[in-house]
Amino acid sequence: MAIYGISDAINVICGIKNAICGINNAIYGINNAICGINNAIYGINNAICGINNAICGINNAINGINSAINDIINASFLMPLMPLMALSMQYF
């Protein structure tokens, strides 16, 4: 009977050890879940930054196109008028 008692005691100790391991694994799982949530938040923030950068790039491209159009308009219409404007300015 003593052998059964020792065996039962060993089983109790192993059960306690397994319970502690299970608690530790649960804690690790919770920590990993928190890390996953944090990584998801960082990923979303990075995606938002990427979208903002894309919008800035589009705006810069539009500004560049507008500047080029203005340069073409100025070169084609105002430049030929410069000598006339210079002549007319000498009378004022």
pLDDT single digits (tens) 22-41: 999 999 999 999 999 999 99
The pLDDT of residue 24 is 98
* DSSP conformation letters of 2-56: HHHHHHHHHHHHHHHHHHHHHHHHHHHHHHHHHHHHHHHHHHHHHHHHHHHHHHH
Average pLDDT value for residue range 51-71: 97
Considering the entire predicted model, what is its pTM? 0.58
Q: Where are the domains of the chain?
A: 1-61
What's residue 66's pLDDT?
97
Does the pLDDT of residue 49 top 70, yes or no? yes
